[in-house]
Amino acid sequence: MSTPRLVEVRQNILKKNDVQARALRERFRDAGVAVISLVSSPGAGKTAFLERTLAGLRHTHEVAALVGDLATANDALRLARSGARVQQITTGTVCHLDAEMVERALDGWPLDELDLLFIENVGNLVCPAAYDLGETLRLVLVSVTEGEDKPLKYPTIFNSADVALMTKVDIADVVECDRAALTANILNVRPGMEIFEVSSKTGAGMDDWLQFVVSFTARSRDAAREHANSDQS
Amino acid sequence: MHELSIAISLVEAAEEEAGRHGGVVSAIHVKIGPLSGVVKSALASAFQLAVEGTTMEGARLVVADVPLVIHCAICARDHEVSGDTWFVCPGCGTPSADVVCGKEMEMTALELES
């Protein structure tokens, strides 16, 4: 029997997803749309938070959302009440969204008309970490009911995010959540990360968050314009 | 839980490379970092499922571990870290999110038989 040849092939295992995500990111940039993805464990409050966010922005911005779940279109129906364009992605048994699912869901969408697109991932703190969706910003949510050490247990996803959001802060005292400890643990796995504390129920903290999103959207639009100008020159 | 998706992507990527170089894959070498989100044992089981019925059936999966290394701007050097203090410089205690390596989920080499 011949000795096998060893051939070097250095590449990311998820190269296909990375290539698709890169193409999406370019499409988003060319269209001047800011894209924020949301990741968290199931029940952290992604959909309630997104309902508030869409309602808070839709009079001033063209906003839309893609929402991923294993089954049902319940979340899309909830979010559609805000009046924003919403599309459900049902993954079947797949525990995360990937770039191809996003691309397929956006088929025929007039991205140019949008200012901001949210992508709500499947509730899962493990698998979504590895899949780039072409987003400009990844937001990780953690609710005060989950235990202060959640970020330490799932460091990969917290480390892969750009901004963190502590949800359900209105019941923090009832569930005896030490918000300072939770904050410290987030910063432990992602030093320097910006953290917002909100309650989707009472609206507490939403103004700061919305202000952040508005300036983030403006920055994305400026970046798109700058890129277009540099292409022409 | 997503290791099966990753194993399928790996097998597809290996098949493509094998097609380019010619030959039958007898082993796939990968590099997995602690921040990749991949569980090695789960990947090994998923790999067995993913190769079933392909030309790669029976191929070995060789996994190399990658340490988590962060760069500390204060010490101006790289440090290998582990455990709960992943993102704290073991030299001076300064937090650092500057990951030098540890996120890898790479196919590094193929063993091909003609």
ipTM given for this complex: 0.87
Residue type, A72: T
Of how many residues is chain B composed? 114
Q: Tell me, what DSSP letter sits at residue A143? A: E
pLDDT for B1 beyond 70: no
Q: Using an 8 Å Cβ cutoff, are A82 and A155 in contact?
A: no
How confident is the model over A5-20, as a mean pLDDT?
94
Other CB atoms within 10 Å distance of the CB of residue A40: 28
Q: Does residue A224 surpass a pLDDT of 90? A: no
* CA–CA distance, A119 with A66 (Å, rounded to integer): 5
Helices B3-21 and A15-31, packing angle to 10 deg? 100
Contacts of A106 (CB under 8 A, 6+ apart): A66, A87
Long-range CB contacts (within 8 A, 24+) of A83-88? A83/A54, A83/A58, A84/A54, A84/A58, A85/A109, A85/A114
Q: Which stretch of DSSP H or E encloses residue B69?
A: strand B68-72
CA distance B46 to B24: 20
For B69-111, the pLDDT digits (tens) are: 999 999 999 999 986 678 889 999 998 888 999 999 999 999 9
**Are the beta carbons of B30 and A13 separated by less than 8 Å?**
yes
Structure-block tokens of residue A147: 């235990």
Chain A residues lying within 8 Å of B2, measured CB to CB: 94-96, 126-127, 130
Write out pLDDT tens, residues A155-198. 999 999 999 999 999 999 999 999 999 999 999 899 999 999 99
List beta partners, residue B77: B72
Hey, is the C-beta of A138 within 8 angstroms of any chain B C-beta?
no
pLDDT in tens, B18-33: 999 999 999 999 999 9
Q: How far apart are CA B7 and CA B34, in angstroms?
A: 17
Q: How far away is chain A from the Cα of B36, in angstroms, using its nearest Cα?
A: 7
- Best probe of the B interface among A9, A101, A122, A190, by most B CBs < 10 A, is A9
pLDDT over threshold 90, residue A225: no
Q: Where are the beta strands (DSSP E) in chain A?
A: 5-12, 34-39, 63-69, 85-90, 116-120, 137-143, 163-167, 194-197
Tens-place pLDDT, residues A57-78: 999 999 999 999 889 889 999 9
Q: A-chain residues within 8 Å CB-CB of B9?
A: 13-17
Q: Position A88: which residue type? A: Q
Dump pLDDT digits (tens) for B36-70.
989 999 999 999 999 999 989 999 999 999 999 99
Q: Do A7 and B35 touch (CB under 8 A)?
A: no
Query: In Å, how far is B28's CA from the nearest CA of chain A?
Result: 10
Q: Are A121 and A68 in contact (CB under 8 A)?
A: yes
Of A223-232, B6-15, B66-75, B105-114, the poorest mean pLDDT is in A223-232
**pLDDT at residue A1 above 60?**
no
A222: enclosing H helix or E strand: helix A206-232
High-pLDDT (> 70) share of chain A, %: 98
> A151: closest CA among A36, A69, A41, A37?
A41
Q: What pLDDT, on the 0 to 100 scale, is given for residue A187?
A: 94
A81 to chain B, any CB pair closer than 8 A? The answer is: no
pLDDT digits (tens, 9 = 90+) for A191-201: 999 999 999 99
Report the run of H or E that residue B78 belongs to, with start and end. strand B77-81
Instruction: Give the whole-angstrom CA distance, residue B74 versus residue B79.
Output: 12
Mean pLDDT score of chain A = 94
Closest of A116, A133, A97 to residue A18, by C-alpha? A133
- Beta bridge pairs of residue B72: B77
* Residue % of chain A over a pLDDT of 90: 82
Give the model's pLDDT for residue A144: 98
- Cα–Cα dist B104/A23, whole Å: 21
Q: pLDDT value at position A131?
A: 94
pLDDT greater than 80 at residue A121: yes
What is the rounded average pLDDT of the residues A74-87? 91
For the entire predicted model, the pTM comes to 0.92
